[in-house]
Structure 1
Amino acid sequence: MPRNEYQSQLADLRADVLDMSETVAERLEMALEALETGDADLAQQVIDGDDEINQQYLDLEKQCTDLIALQQPVAGDLRFIAASFKIITDLERIADLATNLGEYATDGETNIFPEIDIQELGDVTLEMLADAMAAYAEDDSQQCYAVDERDDHLDDLCEIASDTVVRELIESDELDADEDIETFMEDVSRFLLTIRDIERIGDHSVNIAARALYMIDNNDELIY
């Protein structure tokens, strides 16, 4: 295969990975909005759209494996393809977590702790994902480190949010014998799962940044 055609395939792979990331970010944003507004139709769009992202993943997986099998890339090209494969795996998992958030939005009450700003937590993950993908797109190693550092802030916010839920449960005097305790506790469980899944989205964004750093500088410092 002529060199220019091979380079074009590598460029197409990068563009397609970035396209997948944009779709995933859009679905995550929709899921967060559904949680905030209680929009069941919007949440269902996220849930129904998961198959599309799964297909994108499979198509990109084939692009990666074909490039490795047919072109036998070495050095920087091999790191780029391997990083792209790992990144689409993390993107697919972020999409799965966004689907979880959509399901939480349709399954029960989502605003039982109004003092906790779920949208704020979600916005941090959206920024982390955007910066991680920018690092991949622009070969920017500094952005990789910035994403990793921001994850500590997200972890702190999620820990504070979870602790607030527990404290509110301990101190609450609003429940009475006539209230459906089981339903309320199911809502509480979903709320805690929401916080956990948002934190996991941040972890996957760090994984993306780590693979981008490895791709750019052959540096595995952030991996694991």
Structure 2
Amino acid sequence: MSRESYQQELSALREGVVALSETVVDRLELALSSLATGETAAARRVVDGDGEINDRYLELEGDCIDLFALQQPVASDLRFVAASFKILTDLERVADLATNLAEYALEASREVFPEVDVQALGVSAIEMVELAVEAYTEADTAACFAIDEYDDSLDQRCAEASDAVVRHLIERETAMADDDTVQRLLDDASRLLLTIRDLERVGDHAVNVAARTLYMVENDDALIY
């Protein structure tokens, strides 16, 4: 294979990773919207589309394996392919989390815990994914550290949201005698806590993307461990 063709394959891999991230972000936004509106069509689109993302992920993973096996990249090219391989896994897992959120939207009651701003948490998580992929595309190492700091803020906000749910649950449960009402409240609380946990995990995967980008560009594993 010519050097030009090899570089084209590397560029195609980068473009494929970015395209997958755009699809994943679209699914996250749909899932988040469905949580707010209860629109089942949007939620089902996310759930039904998970297989499409899995297929694309496997195709791109295969491209990475081919580059490893056939081109035997070295130095910065090797780090780029290895980082892309790992980033693809994180994007696929973010898509799985979007599916989780859509499934919660199909089951959840509306406005049971209005004091918890799930939408704000979701917007922050989505922004982290977008910034992480942008850092990957631009080989921006400074942005990688900024994303890691952003994650600390998201973690804190998710912890506060979870605490608010538990406090609300305790206050409501102690004032209720109806077992069915208490059970419904417990179910809603459980779903909301899972939603908060999954949004926090989206942020974690964004940090993983940033960590692999930093390693790719500077051979620096500071954010990996």
> TM-score category by the smaller chain?
over 0.9
> Which whole-Å CA distance do the structure 1 matches of 2:89 and 2:110 have between them?
29
For structure 2, the 5+ residue unaligned runs are none
TM-score by length of 1: 0.97
> Which whole-Å CA distance do the structure 1 matches of 2:89 and 2:179 have between them?
47
Q: Could you tell me whether the CA contact under 8 Å between 1:104 and 1:110 is conserved in 2?
A: no
Determine helix, strand or coil for the equivalent of 1:79: helix
Shift of 1:108: 2.5
Q: Could you tell me whether the CA contact under 8 Å between 1:34 and 1:102 is conserved in 2?
A: yes
Shift of 1:174: 5.8
> Which whole-Å CA distance do the structure 2 matches of 1:169 and 1:178 have between them?
14
- Pair 1:80–1:178, CA change in 2 (3 A): closer
Q: Which amino acid aligns with 1:190?
A: R
Q: Is 1:170 the counterpart of 2:158 in the alignment?
A: no
> Which whole-Å CA distance do the structure 2 matches of 1:110 and 1:186 have between them?
13
Which segment is superposed worse, 197-206 or 180-189? 180-189
- Pair 1:91–1:27, CA change in 2 (3 A): same
Number of the residue aligned with 2:34: 34
Shift of 1:109: 1.1
Shift of 1:187: 1.2
Q: Is 1:184 the counterpart of 2:175 in the alignment?
A: no
Shift of 1:32: 0.4
Q: Could you tell me whether the CA contact under 8 Å between 1:90 and 1:208 is conserved in 2?
A: yes
Q: Could you tell me whether the CA contact under 8 Å between 1:110 and 1:191 is conserved in 2?
A: no
Q: Following TM superposition, where does structure 1 have runs of at least 4 consecutive aligned residues deviating by more than 3 angstroms?
A: 173-176
Shift of 1:179: 4.5
Shift of 1:169: 1.5
Number of the residue aligned with 2:73: 73
Number of the residue aligned with 1:220: 221
Q: Could you tell me whether the CA contact under 8 Å between 2:169 and 2:186 is conserved in 1?
A: no
> Which whole-Å CA distance do the structure 2 matches of 1:217 and 1:45 have between them?
39
Shift of 1:204: 0.5
Q: Which amino acid aligns with 1:194?
A: T
> Which whole-Å CA distance do the structure 2 matches of 1:168 and 1:180 have between them?
14
> Which whole-Å CA distance do the structure 2 matches of 1:99 and 1:82 have between them?
26
Q: Could you tell me whether the CA contact under 8 Å between 2:169 and 2:189 is conserved in 1?
A: no
> Which whole-Å CA distance do the structure 2 matches of 1:210 and 1:152 have between them?
15
Number of the residue aligned with 2:123: 123
State how many pairs are aligned. 224
Q: Which amino acid aligns with 1:37?
A: T
Which segment is superposed worse, 71-80 or 104-113? 104-113
> Which whole-Å CA distance do the structure 1 matches of 2:217 and 2:36 have between them?
38
Q: Could you tell me whether the CA contact under 8 Å between 2:46 and 2:98 is conserved in 1?
A: yes
Shift of 1:41: 1.1
Number of the residue aligned with 1:195: 196
The Cα offsets for residues 68-93 of structure 1, whole Å up to 9 and x where unpaired, read as 10000000000000000000000000
Determine helix, strand or coil for the equivalent of 2:153: helix
Q: Which amino acid aligns with 1:148?
A: D
> Which whole-Å CA distance do the structure 1 matches of 2:170 and 2:55 have between them?
45
Number of the residue aligned with 2:15: 15
> Which whole-Å CA distance do the structure 2 matches of 1:199 and 1:159 have between them?
9
Q: Which amino acid aligns with 1:195?
A: I
Shift of 1:127: 0.9
Shift of 1:115: 1.2
Alignment of 1:152-163 (within 5 A): 152-163=152-163
> Which whole-Å CA distance do the structure 2 matches of 1:206 and 1:108 have between them?
29
Shift of 1:182: 1.9
Number of the residue aligned with 2:58: 58
> Which whole-Å CA distance do the structure 2 matches of 1:60 and 1:204 have between them?
18
Which segment is superposed worse, 206-215 or 168-177? 168-177
Q: Which amino acid aligns with 1:7?
A: Q
> Which whole-Å CA distance do the structure 2 matches of 1:141 and 1:50 have between them?
31
TM-score by length of 2: 0.97
